[in-house]
Amino acid sequence: MSKEFNAFEMAQSQFDAVADKLELDEGIRELLRWPLREFHFLIPVHMDDGTVKVFHGYRVQHNDARGPAKGGIRFHPQETVDTVRALATWMTWKCAVVDIPLGGGKGGVICNPHSLSAREQEQICRGWIRQVARNIGPLQDVPAPDVMTNPQHMVWMLDEYEKMTGAHYPGMITGKPVEVGGSLGRTEATGFGVIYTVREALKRAGVPIKGVRASIQGFGNVAQYAAKLFIEYGGSVVAVSCWDNDDHAAYSFLKPDGIDIDFLLSITDRFGTIDKDKAKAAGYVIADPESWIEQEAEILIPAALENQINGDNVDKIKNTVKMVAEGANGPTTPEADEALKARGIFVIPDFLCNAGGVTCSYFEQVQCNQNFFWPKDEVLKRLDEQMTQAFHAVADLAEETGEYMRDAAYMISIQRVAVACHLRGWA
């Protein structure tokens, strides 16, 4: 690629293209191009070896015209403020496209949990809260887990927040364990939401899901549950990929006749790393990380990080591929998007496709705030209804106007947020 990838520049270019289509005036355009507020801070931690290490943390609140900001917290060694800005921006559009009354936010810490003890991770969590406690909460900004954070991290953050405020606020953070105010169904929500949209897209195309092949990038929470539900529906998954911390490399695991999801889960650690030796012994081909994109499949599901389908590899996609369902945030660059569009590949855009997570987080927040919790079947039924309704609203608009699915989704989201800003008198 001609220059280093910048996720926020990509988010802004996507917005600009649709803002032109909507003929937004300059005031609202400028307001929605940038985050309303940002917090950059340092988190000093006493490490297990007696030294003090300083970690850089962020919280970005892109827009809260429709309700409290909402978005996860990433722990990642390559985290940047521009990545956090982009993710916060996409969260605004994601909440709007599924029509839940929340805005967009995102947080992060530059660290690698794989190389930190549980105590060190707890100190980072508590330190992050101490830096932003006055600017988050159930009525301001509600964090959640994201890449390399989990329910335990959320409990430590909740506990620190409640110590500082002197009261119980279970709705200040989501993605918690069920035992302390988490929602049933939250673990499955993002991956299941991806497949709900895939199911509806196949229905509209008149294609039975049975026998349809998918290739998935990633094997974390989203990829695991997407694979599980897709296989339950009768499809097959011919490839997954994961990061191996032992040798700091990524690998694809190929099985043309379809993976055994239960077997792979049984040899996968809590970070989503699959045991290569056991997989190979069971007949899986261990290949380079790009191999997932080169498989003979009808559907590609990037469910890892941003910038994974780009100008350098989009031509490797086989002619069998008819759909890309973006389980990750920002996995497809604008250059690759144009290539997919030219080939007539149907794309379910990220902020629609993977909105199951934030939708269920909203359900968790509602349940916590009313101190009344729903059965799992009810959570998943509500999730299915919300995702299905959102998908068809976007697909209908795309069909009526001839717009690309991503642009149609942006048009719905941006209009909803712009109206809220106008009604508040912001622009």
Q: How far is CA 185 from CA 152, 178, 376, in A?
A: 17, 10, 6
pLDDT of residue 40: 98
CA distance 394 to 397: 5
Q: Please state, in angstroms and rounded to a whole number, the distance separating the CA atoms of residues 239 and 245.
A: 20
When the pLDDT of each residue in the chain is averaged and rounded to a whole number, the result is: 95
Query: What per-residue confidence (pLDDT) applies to 2?
Result: 41
For the segment 133-144, the average pLDDT, to the nearest whole number, is 96
Q: HSE on the CB side for 181, CA within 13 Å?
A: 22
pLDDT tens digits, residue range 321-335?
999 999 998 899 989
Q: Tell me, rounded to whole angstroms, the distance of Cα 313 from its chain centroid.
A: 22
Burial of residue 80 (number of CB atoms within 10 Å: 0-12, 13-18, 19+): middle
Question: Which residue do the tokens 């279970």 mark?
Answer: 170
Phi-psi region of 400 (alpha: psi -120 to 50; beta: other; left: phi over 0): alpha
Element containing residue 18 per DSSP (H, E): helix 7-22
Q: What percent of the chain has pLDDT over 70?
A: 98
Amino acid at 317: I
Q: Where are the domains of the chain?
A: 37-170, 187-348
Mean pLDDT on 203-210 = 96
Q: What is the pLDDT of residues 237-292, one digit of tens each?
A: 999 998 887 666 789 999 999 999 999 999 998 778 899 999 999 999 999 999 99
* DSSP helix/strand/coil, 323: strand
pLDDT tens per residue, range 342-393:
999 999 999 999 999 999 999 999 999 999 999 999 999 999 999 999 999 9
Cα dihedral 226→229→232→238 (10° resolution): 0
pLDDT for 296 beyond 50: yes
The tokens describing 130, both together, are 């101490």
Structure tokens at 277: 């030796």
Q: Of the listed 3, 21, 94, 106, which one is catalytic?
A: 106
Task: Give the residue carrying structure tokens 């985290």.
Answer: 79
Q: pLDDT above 90 covers what percent of the chain?
A: 91
Q: What is the pLDDT of residue 306?
A: 83
**CATH H superfamily, domain 187-348:** NAD(P)-binding Rossmann-like Domain (3.40.50.720)
Is the pLDDT confidence value at 52 over 80? yes
Dihedral (Cα; 87, 90, 91, 97), 10-degree rounding = -160
3-state helix, strand and coil shares in percent for the chain, rounded to the nearest 5: 50, 20, 30
Query: Do the Cβ atoms of 323 and 346 come closer than 8 Å?
Result: yes
Dihedrals phi, psi of 313, to nearest 5 degrees: -125, -5
Mapping DSSP onto H, E and C, the string for 257-309 reads CCCCHHHHHHCECCCCCECHHHHHHCCCEEECHHHHHHCCCCEEEECCCCCCE
pLDDT-based confidence at residue 3 (cuts at 50, 70, 90): low
Whether 37-170 shares its CATH topology with 187-348 is answered yes
Residues in the chain: 427
**Non-local CB neighbours of 212 within 8 Å, separated by 6+ positions:** 202, 234, 235, 236, 298, 299
Ramachandran category for residue 316: left, alpha or beta (phi over 0 → left; psi -120 to 50 → alpha): alpha
Q: What is the mean pLDDT of residues 152-169?
A: 97
Q: Catalytic site residue 276?
A: no
CATH of domain 37-170: 3.40.50.10860
The pTM of the full predicted model, rounded to 2 decimals, is 0.91
Q: Give the pLDDT band (50/70/90) at residue 307.
A: confident
Judged against a pLDDT cut of 70, whether residue 1 lies above it is answered with no
pLDDT tops 80 at residue 62: yes
